[in-house]
Amino acid sequence: MVRCLPLWAIFTGFFSHFWLCTIIITYLPTYISSVLHVNIRDSGVLSSLPFIAASSCTILGGQLADFLLSRNLLRLITVRKLFSSLGLLLPSLCAMALPFVASSYVTTIILLILIPGTSNLCDSGFIINTLDVAPRYASFLMGISRGFGLIAGIISSTATGFLISQDSVSGWRNVFFLSAAVNMFGMFFYITFGQVEIQDWAKEKTLTRL
């Protein structure tokens, strides 16, 4: 299990996914108030919009993935890698664009909404991939995957706090570019090593009676 690259592809995906998600969850109100100079009341309302979008994209992404599979339009491995790639690439592009549109209130809000929204497309990708590669141990492996996500969240939130404390403008730019780099690494690692076949160590062994 420890040497299983498809499993490490899932763990890497979780790490990358939660890196940026934790920053949005933790620092979104701070970003809105400090960069857009929005008051606390309006900041609270705006901060809720990305999570509404995230919930909607989770449902829509799941429906689309099921449609593609039920109509045999794409293979399972293609669906997993497609939605994983979209869920890591699209929010990265939005994050990298943020420093360049800070002067545009509407564009910034749209990008902030799109980051968690598109990020949740991963729910139809590597997020549920443990059910494919090791259905017997899916719940156990999901817990480990979330652990990797938690570690990513601790590191990313700490790094974000340090970077923006040095210089607000360049700090936020470095935060978003670093997050994009982490996401890109996770995307390429999963595309390279992700699988959907049940792994040998996860198969139930049958005993032959003599």
Q: For the domain 17-194, what is the CATH code?
A: 1.20.1250.20
- Single-letter residue type at 21: C
pLDDT one-digit tens code per residue, 17-70: 999 999 999 998 888 888 888 876 677 778 888 889 999 999 999 999 999 999
pLDDT one-digit tens code per residue, 179-209: 999 999 999 999 999 999 999 999 887 655 6
Q: Where are the domains of the chain?
A: 17-194
pTM value is: 0.92
Q: Output the CA angle 121-125-127, nearest 5 degrees.
A: 95
Closest listed residue to residue 19, CA positions, set 107, 85, 95: 95
Per-residue pLDDT averaged across 137-142, rounded?
96
DSSP string spanning 43-78?
A: HHHHHHHHHHHHHHHHHHHHHHHHHHHHTTSS-HHH
**What's the gap between Cα 78 and its chain centre?**
18
Rg value, the chain, Cα:
19
